[in-house]
C-alpha cells in the first residue's frame, strides 16, 4: 500500500512539473480533446464508491483510500484546466466550441439534478475565472438550472457560479466593455428577474441559506443599478414576486422602487 501510494505521489508530481506547467501543448484532433475533457470532468464529479469492507479496514487503510480518491479528483481537475488551455490556444470552429460547452452542460446538469455528484463548486468557479467565455456562454443555462434545481442546497450553492460569471462580466472598466455588459444583462434580464423571483418565493428555511440568497440578490441589485437596468428588471419581474421580494429582501428591494420613483420627479 505504501509503495503504491508513494508511486502515485511521484507520478502526480511529474505530471504537474512536466505536463501541466509546460508552455507547449500537444497537437491532436479536436474529437480526442473533447473525449479527454469529458472523461476528466466525469472523474472530477464522480461519486466515490464506498467499499463494503471499508468498515473492516484499519484507519490507516481508510486514510490511504481517501487520499487516493482525492488525488484522482485533483488530477482530473488539473487535467481539465490543462485541456482548456489547449482549447483556448486552438482556433476552434463554432460547432467545435459548442461541443466543448455541451460537455460542461451535461456535467452541470448532473450536478443540479443528482445529489450524489461530487463536482466541486470551487473547481467550477476556477474554470469560469480562468476561462470567462465558458461561464458567459453558459450563463443562460445556469440561470435556468438554478431556478429549477431539484435540490434546495444545489439551488442556493450554485448562486456562486452565477455571481462569478457576473463579476467577470462587469469587472471591465472601459466604456465599450460596460456597454457590452449592459447589453448582455439586458438580453437576459427576464431570466435573471425570474431567478430572483423564484428564490424569494421559495426562500430556504435554513438561516444560513436565506442569508446567501439575500446576499446574492443584493449583488444583483447592485449590478443592475450600476448599469441603469432597474426599470428593466422591475418590468420583467413577475407581479407574484413583488410582495415576496418586499417582505424577504426589505430595503434591498424597496430601494430599487424608490430610485425609479425619484427619477420620475
% of the chain exceeding 90 in pLDDT: 52
| pLDDT of the residue at 224 | 95
25 vs 216 pLDDT, higher one:
216
Domain ranges of the chain: 1-46+57-131, 138-265
10 Å Cβ neighbour count for 235?
12
pLDDT at 26 over 90: no
pLDDT digit string, tens, across residues 217-265: 999 999 999 999 999 999 999 999 999 999 999 999 999 988 877 776 5
d(CA 84, CA 171): 22
In 10-46, which positions are buried (b, 16+ CB within 10 angstroms) versus exposed (e)? Answer: eeeeeeeeeeeeeeebeeeebeebbebbbebbebbbb
- For the packed helices 189-201 and 139-147, what is the interaxial angle rounded to 10 degrees? 20
Compute the average pLDDT of residues 10-33.
56
| pLDDT of the residue at 216 | 97
pLDDT at 207 over 80: yes
Q: Could you tell me the pLDDT band of residue 3, with boundaries at 50, 70 and 90?
A: very low
pLDDT at 108 over 60: yes
pLDDT at 16 over 60: no
User: Is the model's pTM score more than 0.85?
Assistant: no
Compute the average pLDDT of residues 147-170.
93
| pLDDT of the residue at 14 | 47
Query: Which range has highest mean pLDDT (1-5, 105-109, 172-176)?
Result: 105-109
pLDDT at 176 over 70: yes
Place of cell 479527454: 36
Q: Could you tell me the pLDDT band of residue 177, with boundaries at 50, 70 and 90?
A: confident
| pLDDT of the residue at 194 | 96
Amino acid at each position: 500500500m505504501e509503495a503504491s501510494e508513494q508511486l502515485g505521489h511521484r507520478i502526480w508530481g511529474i505530471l504537474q512539473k512536466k505536463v501541466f506547467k509546460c508552455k507547449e501543448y500537444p497537437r491532436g484532433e479536436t474529437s480526442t480533446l473533447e473525449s479527454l475533457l469529458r472523461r476528466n470532468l466525469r472523474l472530477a464529479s464522480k461519486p466515490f464508491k464506498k467499499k463494503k469492507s471499508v468498515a473492516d479496514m484499519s484507519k490507516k487503510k481508510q486514510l490511504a483510500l481517501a487520499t487516493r480518491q482525492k488525488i484522482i479528483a485533483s488530477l482530473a481537475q488539473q487535467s481539465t484546466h490543462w485541456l482548456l488551455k489547449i482549447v483556448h490556444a486552438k482556433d476552434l470552429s463554432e460547432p467545435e466550441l459548442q461541443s466543448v460547452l455541451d460537455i460542461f452542460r451535461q456535467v452541470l446538469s448532473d450536478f443540479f439534478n443528482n445529489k450524489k455528484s461530487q463536482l466541486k463548486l470551487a473547481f467550477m468557479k476556477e474554470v469560469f475565472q480562468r476561462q470567462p467565455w465558458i461561464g458567459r456562454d453558459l450563463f443562460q443555462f445556469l440561470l435556468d438550472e438554478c431556478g429549477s434545481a431539484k435540490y434546495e442546497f444545489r439551488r442556493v450553492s450554485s448562486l456562486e457560479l452565477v455571481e462569478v460569471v457576473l463579476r467577470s462580466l462587469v469587472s471591465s472598466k472601459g466604456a465599450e466593455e460596460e456597454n457590452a455588459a449592459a447589453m448582455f444583462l439586458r438580453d437576459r434580464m427576464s431570466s435573471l428577474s425570474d431567478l430572483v423571483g423564484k428564490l424569494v418565493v421559495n426562500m430556504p428555511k435554513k438561516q444560513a441559506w436565506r442569508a446567501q440568497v439575500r446576499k446574492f440578490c443584493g449583488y444583483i441589485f447592485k449590478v443592475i443599478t450600476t448599469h441603469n437596468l432597474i426599470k428593466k428588471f422591475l418590468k420583467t419581474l413577475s407581479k407574484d414576486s413583488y410582495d415576496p421580494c418586499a417582505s424577504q429582501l426589505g430595503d434591498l428591494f424597496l430601494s430599487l422602487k424608490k430610485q425609479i420613483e425619484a427619477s420620475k420627479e
